[in-house]
Amino acid sequence: MSKRVARGALHRRYPGVYSFGPGELSPEAEAMAAVLAVGDGVLCNRPAATLLRISRFRSSVPHVLVTRRHRPVEGIVIHHCRDLDPRDVTVHRGIPMTTVPRILLDLGEDHTVWQVTNVIHEAAFRKCFDVAATRRMLARSTGRRGVALVERAIALHLAGSAGTKSALEDAFIALATDLPEPLVNTIHEGEELDFLWPDCRLNVEVDGPGHRRPAVRRDDARRDHKLKAAGYTVVRLTDIEVQRAPEAALQKVLRNWPTSIVLRGSCA
């Protein structure tokens, strides 16, 4: 083995794990290499979600879940869980990994409810989200920090929210935490709306740089006209407004609110 490494025929990825040649590994090969390096473990968290193509969140290093204490391995984040349920483990393309319900629970510990809702939305699109299976997993995970958040994300998904799809949308929803809860990226009047308060008949759109293109601006104008004709108030915020002048952006929304507002409540 050492001779092959010296000749460059084998390339060391992790202790005890080698590949043929030093080239970049595919995502699947990188994940499998990490699992092999740790031993009796499974891929988990963001890297597992990425491999299933259900999350926009990436990790620069693999995450592996083990049921026993393990020495640190450089380049791998190791998570410990003494009571990992076999029902929370699956195999995808030959790679041992956590199931979608378990991925959601893990993400629920350090992501927002809107971000987890979007992961559910993507998983449902790829036909790998099972509401009943997820709720069964939550029921046997009493005490875990992410349980309540995932339950709420399921409710939002079932109500029609697709969750936040970008960092810009994350920034706006963080800014609007004291407002009544909106539907996020929901289909209404035949259009996908960023943030909708249906009872208030208010739509807020947050526009990134792509909305400055002439064709996109024309389509935005068409949508706005359609919604206004249906009796909705439409407020557009640019990325610059949300990111550089957040308080002014929030005041712009409040000035256009069609009814009195009860913070952290519902439209009045």
Order of all β-strands in the sheet with 41-43: 77-80, 63-66, 41-43, 95-98, 89-92
pLDDT at 22: 66
pLDDT at 264: 56
Order of all β-strands in the sheet with 202-207: 183-188, 191-197, 202-207, 233-238
Q: What is the pLDDT along the chain (268 residues), one digit of tens a residue?
A: 554 444 454 666 677 777 766 677 889 999 999 999 998 899 999 999 999 999 999 999 999 999 988 888 999 999 999 889 999 999 999 999 999 999 999 999 999 999 999 999 999 999 999 999 999 999 999 889 999 999 999 999 999 999 999 999 999 999 999 999 999 999 999 999 999 999 999 999 999 999 999 999 999 999 999 999 999 999 999 999 999 999 999 999 999 987 665 555 555 5
pLDDT at 9: 45
Return the domain boundaries, the chain.
2-159, 167-255
CATH fold of 167-255 reads Endonuclease; Chain A (3.40.960)
pLDDT at 207: 96
pLDDT at 17: 72
pLDDT at 141: 93
pLDDT at 122: 98
Instruction: State pLDDT tens for residues 234-250.
Output: 999 999 999 999 999 99
pLDDT at 15: 77
pLDDT at 1: 52
pLDDT at 74: 92
> pTM of the predicted model, to two decimals?
0.89
pLDDT at 11: 64
